[in-house]
Amino acid sequence: MENLKTNVVVIGGGPGGYASASYAASCGKKVILIEKNERLGGACLNCGCIPSKALLHVAEAVYGARAAEKFGLGFSEPSLDLAKLTAWKSEMIEKLGRGMKDLGGRRGIEIIQGRATFLDQRTVKVADKRITFEHAIIATGSTPALPKSLKISGPLVMTSTEALQLQEIPKRLLVIGAGYIGMELGIVYAALGSKVTVVEVLPRILNGADSDLIRYVEEMAKRRLEKLMLNTKIAGLENCQNQVKAVIDAGGNITEELFDRVLVSTGRAPLTAELRLEEIGVRLDERGFVRTDSAKRTSVPSIYAVGDVTGGVMLAHKASCDARLAIDSIMGFPIPKSFPLIPAVVFTDPEVAWCGVTENEARSSGTPVQVIRFPWTASGRAVTMDRTDGVTKLLIDPATEKIIGAGICGKGAGELITETVLAIEGEMTAKELGRRVHPHPTLSETVAECAEMFYGRSTSAFSRKRNG
Strand, helix or coil for residue 56? helix
pLDDT of residue 338 exceeding 60: yes
**Same structural domain, 258 and 177:** yes
Q: Enumerate residues 6+ apart whose C-beta is below 8 A from 374.
A: 391, 392, 393, 446, 449, 450, 453, 458, 460, 461
CB 277 within 8 A of CB 284: yes
What's 69's domain CATH number?
3.50.50.60
**How confident is the model over 269-298, as a mean pLDDT?**
95
- Please name the amino acid found at residue 447: V
First to last CA, the chain: 72
CA atoms within 13 A on the CB side of 206: 27
The predicted structure's pLDDT at residue 337: 81
Confidence of residue 441 (pLDDT cuts 50, 70, 90): very high
Count other Cβ atoms within 10 Å, centred on residue 91: 10
CB 243 within 8 A of CB 252: no
Residue 57 lies in a domain: yes
Count other Cβ atoms within 10 Å, centred on residue 365: 9
**Same structural domain, 154 and 245:** yes
CB 257 within 8 A of CB 288: no
Helix 82-106, helix 15-26: angle, nearest 10: 20
Residue 344 lies in a domain: no
342-370, pLDDT tens digit by residue? 999 999 999 999 999 999 999 999 999 99
How far is Cα 394 from Cα 355, in angstroms, rounded to an integer?
Answer: 10
pLDDT of residue 272 exceeding 90: yes
**How confident is the model over 269-281, as a mean pLDDT?**
95
Residue 462 lies in a domain: no
CA atoms within 13 A on the CB side of 262: 30
**Same structural domain, 33 and 111:** yes
Residue 405 or residue 241, greater confidence: 405
pLDDT of residue 327 exceeding 80: yes
What's 390's domain CATH number?
3.30.390.30
8-25, pLDDT tens digit by residue? 999 999 999 999 999 999
**Same structural domain, 137 and 24:** yes
- Catalytic center residues: 440
The fraction of the chain above a pLDDT of 90, given in percent, is 91
The predicted structure's pLDDT at residue 467: 57
Domain end among 225, 245, 266: 266
How far is Cα 379 from Cα 381, in angstroms, rounded to an integer?
Answer: 5
Q: Enumerate residues 6+ apart whose C-beta is below 8 A from 104.
A: 18, 21, 22, 33, 40, 111
How far is Cα 275 from Cα 422, in angstroms, rounded to an integer?
Answer: 38
**Same structural domain, 7 and 117:** yes
**Same structural domain, 163 and 239:** yes
CA-based nearest residue to 300, from 276, 284, 283: 283
**Same structural domain, 63 and 199:** no
* Average pLDDT taken over every residue of the chain: 95
Residue 468 lies in a domain: no
**Same structural domain, 128 and 158:** no
pLDDT of residue 268 exceeding 60: yes
The predicted structure's pLDDT at residue 348: 95
Cα pseudo-dihedral 32, 340, 337, 323, rounded to 10:
0
16-57, pLDDT tens digit by residue? 999 999 999 999 999 999 999 999 999 999 999 999 999 999
DSSP 168-208: ---SEEEEE--SHHHHHHHHHHHHTT-EEEEE-SSSSSSBT
How far is Cα 432 from Cα 394, in angstroms, rounded to an integer?
Answer: 13
DSSP 68: G
**Same structural domain, 211 and 262:** yes
Residue 441 preceded by cis peptide, ω within 30 = yes
Q: Is the dihedral of CA 15, 17, 18, 23 positive or negative?
A: positive
Residue 283 lies in a domain: yes
105-119, pLDDT tens digit by residue? 999 999 999 999 999
Q: Enumerate residues 6+ apart whose C-beta is below 8 A from 187.
A: 56, 59, 221, 224, 225, 348, 349
Residue 25 lies in a domain: yes
368-418, pLDDT tens digit by residue? 999 999 999 999 999 999 999 999 999 999 999 999 999 999 999 999 999
**Same structural domain, 258 and 156:** yes
**How confident is the model over 201-227, as a mean pLDDT?**
95
Domain end among 236, 266, 296: 266
**Same structural domain, 180 and 306:** no
Residue 243 lies in a domain: yes
The predicted structure's pLDDT at residue 465: 67
The predicted structure's pLDDT at residue 148: 77
DSSP 300: S
**Same structural domain, 34 and 77:** yes
The predicted structure's pLDDT at residue 446: 98
57-91, pLDDT tens digit by residue? 999 999 999 999 999 999 998 999 999 999 999 99
Residue 345 lies in a domain: no
Which H or E run includes 135? strand 129-138
The fraction of the chain above a pLDDT of 70, given in percent, is 99
The residue range of the domain holding 387 is 350-453
Domain end among 221, 246, 266: 266
Number of independent structural domains in the chain: 3
The predicted structure's pLDDT at residue 85: 95
Confidence of residue 153 (pLDDT cuts 50, 70, 90): confident
Classify the phi-psi angles of 401: left when phi > 0, otherwise alpha if psi is within -120 to 50, otherwise beta. Answer: left
Q: Which residues pair with 351 in a beta bridge?
A: 410
